[in-house]
Amino acid sequence: MKYFSLLALLFPAVTLQAQERYNILWLSCEDIDPSLSCYGAKGIETPNIDRLAKEGIRFDNAYSTVGVCAPSRSSIITGVYPVSMGTHNMRTSHQVLYKGIDGDKYPSFQAVTGKRGRNIPAYSAVPAPEIKCFTEYLRTAGYYCTNNAKCDYQFYPPFTAWDENGFDADYKHTPKGMPFFSVYNHEVTHESRIWKKANDPMLINPKEIDLPDYYPDIEVVRKDVGRKYSNIAELDAQIGLRIKQLEEEGLLNKTIIVFWSDHGGPMLRQKRAVGNTGLHVPLIIRFPDKRYAGTVSKDLVSLMDLAPTMLSVAGIKPPEYMQGHAFLGDYKTEKREAIYGSADRFDEVYDFSRSVINGKFSYIRNFNPGTPLIYRNQYREQIDMTRELIEMDKNGELTGGAAYIFRDQREVEELYDLENDPDEINNLAKDPKYRKQLIKMRKQLAAWQLKIGDKGFIDEYDLVQMFWPGLVQPVTEDVTIKESKKSIVLSCKTEGASIGYQLDSQIGGKRWMLYTEPLYLKQGQKLVTRAIRYGYQVSKPIQFNMK
């Protein structure tokens, strides 16, 4: 296995702009850490994902920004930290799928109580006006973009972000001559599948897997952790079918494949955790020309870096507002010195923690010290082992690492040596030998929070008021059409609005073209146009007939 630093990579002298542009295919999954055989996991074989690693780049130090899906996915689609744009509380609403251009409906009440006892309504976050889904830049550059099918961005998926968005979305619909960017999300490894698939055949032997040091070795733990591994084995088979389909269609040698998970594992001390155990994810990128085949990167990579990196690989300069770093392509930047993570509201429970991970150490700052490390959360307590461990803790039956994660009160600061303690059960924050490291990472975190404008300090109810004054969702202004002898110019007074349009036979269909430059219509052509500012209601349809 070859190791390299991304900074040392040099692309061939002939860039992709001078060749046929590669397609880009994202094979995303949910809730897995690097529990794959290509990462050295025991008791499981993942030959199809291993093949991607053998023919591509395996990233050993990849991390999500949050240990839960919706905030993490908001950073992946925008290249901006959730706590910077206000998408950090899980969830703003249950709008996790695209339901058409007018599908953003929000009940005024949901079962979430704010820190000050005020009801938090269902809402859509409103990112800064310049922030866009990075797919808009790909569409502008001529890519056909499809998403099948999960969105979960904390704001309703804008109709301008995708050519196709839904369970029918497929790169097979790409018009001839266009490259595609397509996403397929695989849900088989989601946390909920631990209990939903409890009675399915087990594809691995639970006795052969390694348990983290924070779990007792008891039957119910091996059963549920075994189900996690079994679901990963099922995921691998699904990935194999995707690869086979590309081969049969003659697209494998024309498509960049990116495999990633939205955050770490689905179990206790994994999902929703802000340190290494919650944020560490697998990431593999395979180039069709076998570039860097079989290499391993030890550089730090955040999933939010995927947005600028995909633009960079496509020869598109990432916009300056993106806080992610391009780690490949024409616009790659210097490698990261640290990864930053966050934990805030998770469903009905409020957390407030931040983390810095540099590959060797993880530092966690708890802004609600004195609260338990393992807090009660109704959703995850549907897993048998979670309920059993809670009971064992009540009865004083837990020891070692399991007793540590069930401590009644967490410290203000946590510091872990990841080389010797990847499960983060030996807090070194008060050890004088690590004082210098503690202070360094404490300063890193504070500087980062100031730089990105951490909105975790704002009460969520007040944050919603900032997004939606009076708790009323703003409405995007109607598109203005200006006609000249030669062109049609579309504009919208709402700052940051994206404009979409349909022509002739497209009108009434699902696909909206993204407006980027003046349109040249022929006599008799018809146009319908609408605009959307992310988090706002979509504007009314405006019709135009070219005379």
The dihedral over CA atoms of 158, 164, 165, 171, expressed in degrees to the nearest 10, equals -140
Joined tokens for residue 5: 């630093």
Query: Of 183, 180, 184, which is closest to residue 142 (Cα–Cα)?
Result: 180
**Catalytic residue chosen out of the listed positions 69, 133, 145, 492:** 69
Q: What does DSSP assign to residue 469?
A: G
CA distances to 27, 122, 474, 476, 537 from 471, in Å: 37, 10, 9, 16, 13
The span from the CA of 261 to the CA of 174, in Å, is: 25
Alpha-carbon gap, residue 308 to 197, rounded angstroms: 36
CA distance 66 to 60: 18
Count of Cβ atoms closer than 10 Å to residue 142 Cβ? 11
The residue assigned the tokens 């020891």 is: 399
Q: What gap in Å lies between CA 268 and CA 501, rounded to an integer?
A: 46
Spatial separation of the C-alpha atoms in residues 270 and 272, rounded to whole Å: 6
For residue 191, what are the CA distances in angstroms to 351, 373, 383, 392?
A: 19, 19, 9, 22
User: Parallel, antiparallel, or unpaired for β 542-545 and 526-532?
Assistant: antiparallel
Q: Give me 276's structure tokens.
A: 């290494």
Q: How far apart are CA 506 and CA 206, in angstroms?
A: 53
69 is catalytic: yes
- Quote the CA–CA distance of 336 and 341 in Å, as a whole number: 14
- What CA–CA distance (Å, rounded) separates 69 from 340? 16
Residue among 319, 351, 387 nearest 129 (CA): 319
The residues, ordered by sequence, that sit 6+ positions from 396 with a Cβ below 8 Å of its Cβ are none
DSSP 8-state assignment for residue 182 = E
Question: What is the spatial distance between Cα 305 and Cα 307, in angstroms, rounded to a whole number?
Answer: 6
297, β-bridge pairs? 4, 59
What is the spatial distance between Cα 517 and Cα 280, in angstroms, rounded to a whole number?
Answer: 41
Q: How many residues does the chain have?
A: 547
Spatial separation of the C-alpha atoms in residues 19 and 422, rounded to whole Å: 43
Rounded to 5°, the CA angle 392-393-394 comes to: 90
Task: Indicate which residues carry an active-site annotation.
Answer: 69
